[in-house]
Amino acid sequence: MRSLDHLFDRNVAWADRKTEQDPTFFRRLSEQQAPQYLWIGCSDSRITANDVLGLDPGEVFVHRNIANIVHTSDMNILAVLEYAIEVLRVRHIIVSGHYGCGGVQRAMAEERGALVDHWLQPLSMFYRKHRPLFDGMGEAPQQLNRLCELNVEMQLRRVAATPIVEGAWLRGVELHLHGWIYGMHDGLLRDLGATVASIEERDALPSIDQRVTQRSEPLSPRRRHALEAFSALGLADMASPPCCMPSLEKPPK
* % of the chain beyond a pLDDT of 70: 89
Residue 195 sits in which domain range? 28-220
Q: Taking residues 179-189, what's their average pLDDT?
A: 93
**Domain annotation covers residue 54:** yes
Q: How confident is the model at residue 246 (pLDDT cuts 50, 70, 90)?
A: very low
The string of pLDDT tens digits covering residues 82-112 is 999 999 999 999 999 999 999 999 999 988 8
Pairing between strand 176-182 and 189-196? antiparallel
* % of the chain beyond a pLDDT of 90: 69
Of these residues, 2, 22, 42, 56, which one is catalytic?
42
**Domain annotation covers residue 134:** yes
Range list of β-strands (E), the chain: 37-42, 60-65, 92-98, 176-182, 189-196
Residue 157 is a catalytic residue: no
Identity of the residue numbered 246: P
**Domain annotation covers residue 8:** no
pLDDT value at 229 more than 60: yes
Residue 112 is a catalytic residue: no
Asked whether 124 and 107 are in contact (CB, 8 A), the reply is yes
Of these residues, 63, 101, 190, 202, which one is catalytic?
101
Residue 209 is a catalytic residue: no
**Domain annotation covers residue 199:** yes
What pLDDT shows up at residue 1?
A: 60
How long, in residues, is the chain?
A: 253
Of these residues, 10, 17, 27, 46, which one is catalytic?
46
Of these residues, 63, 98, 190, 211, which one is catalytic?
98
Number of domains in the chain: 1
The string of pLDDT tens digits covering residues 41-73 is 999 988 899 999 999 888 999 999 999 999 999
**Domain annotation covers residue 229:** no
CATH of the domain at 212: 3.40.1050.10
Residue 148 is a catalytic residue: no
Residue 44 is a catalytic residue: yes
**Domain annotation covers residue 21:** no
**Domain annotation covers residue 19:** no
**Domain annotation covers residue 163:** yes
